[in-house]
Amino acid sequence: MASGIFAILDDIAALMDDVAVMSKVAAKKTAGILGDDLAVNAEKASGFVSSREIPVLWAITKGSLLNKLIILPIAFLLSAFLPVAITIILLLGGLYLGFEGAEKIYHFFVPHQHSKKEELKEAKTQEEILAVEKERVKSAIVTDFILSVEIVIIALGTVVQEEITTQILVVSIIALIATVGVYGIVALIIRMDEAGYYLIKKSEGEKSFKKKLGEILVAALPKVIKSLSVIGTIALILVAGGIFVHNVEYIHHLIPEAIPSILGEFIVGLIAGFACLLLVKLFMKIKKSF
């Protein structure tokens, strides 16, 4: 009886060890998308009055958790009964991520419609502000859903050859990190200025350490969000390129061996992204003409 219990405990320990190792691998694979998820949501949750930033972020977080609850069972069912669908979804997601990255680069160089932050500044009444807030939350949840699909599928792709128990544990851990970790960091980022103002208020003199630190935090917030946006764009293109290079043998062999793998993946992601952007622009133009 005792030997049976110890055997079960040993199996559990071995399983958890495998889960820990595979979770590290999956986390590395999904790091790029997690970085973009962080950048997108830090941007969408900022710009509101102080009292509304956390409620907006909490609404997005709840939507993100719901997204994961929808995506995870479907992903496990596909993995068990139609594994080829995982690769197809991965490639489709790669096209979307490349398109998102290319669109951000395009909008950086080409003037486009006013941003959500400008819409928020233009809102005068409380009803208009709440309408913009609701639209921002909805947009963030939709983006989170697409990124969550990619996070789950990429994580699942790292453990697709493992037993279903390992798959469920590893992918669920990554999904939880993607929600709790990302939105926890976003909450800290968007409250940087509040922490700075608090330190300035509590400072004892013009040259005190508290005041200087507070001023640094206040000044750093817009720069942090802007830099996250740039990092997120690069991450999107790299992840997209990596998906095509590692899942399409023809593309993999097209990249010369002399080129570093990260540069090759970036070039592939950039080409795929701008090809998708061109097709979307053409489609919208044709649609508008009709």
User: pLDDT per residue over 85-104, tens digit each?
Assistant: 878 888 888 888 889 889 98
Average pLDDT (1-13) is 44
Output the CA–CA distances (angstroms, integers) from residue 177 to 76, 95, 162, 187, 236, in the order listed.
18, 24, 21, 15, 19
Confidence band, pLDDT 50/70/90 cuts, at residue 12: very low
Q: Give the count of alpha carbons within 13 A of 244, CB side only.
A: 27
Percent of the chain with pLDDT over 90: 7
Burial of 146 (0-12, 13-18, 19+ CB in 10 A): middle
3-class DSSP assignment, residue 161: coil
Average pLDDT (134-146) is 80
User: pLDDT per residue over 163-221, tens digit each?
Assistant: 777 778 888 888 888 788 788 888 888 778 788 888 888 777 777 777 888 888 888 87
Q: Evaluate whether 140 touches 38 at the Cβ level (below 8 Å).
A: no
3-class DSSP assignment, residue 257: coil
Between these two residues, 195 and 24, which has the higher pLDDT value? 195
Overall residue count recorded for the chain in this entry = 290
pLDDT at 43: 66
Domain ranges across the chain:
2-192+225-289
User: pLDDT per residue over 27-47, tens digit each?
Assistant: 566 666 666 667 666 666 666
Q: Evaluate whether 182 touches 37 at the Cβ level (below 8 Å).
A: yes
Torsion of CA 72, 20, 247, 74, to 10 degrees: -10
Confidence band, pLDDT 50/70/90 cuts, at residue 4: very low
Q: Give the count of alpha carbons within 13 A of 134, CB side only.
A: 6
- In the chain, % helix, strand, coil (3-state, to 5) comes to 90, 0, 10
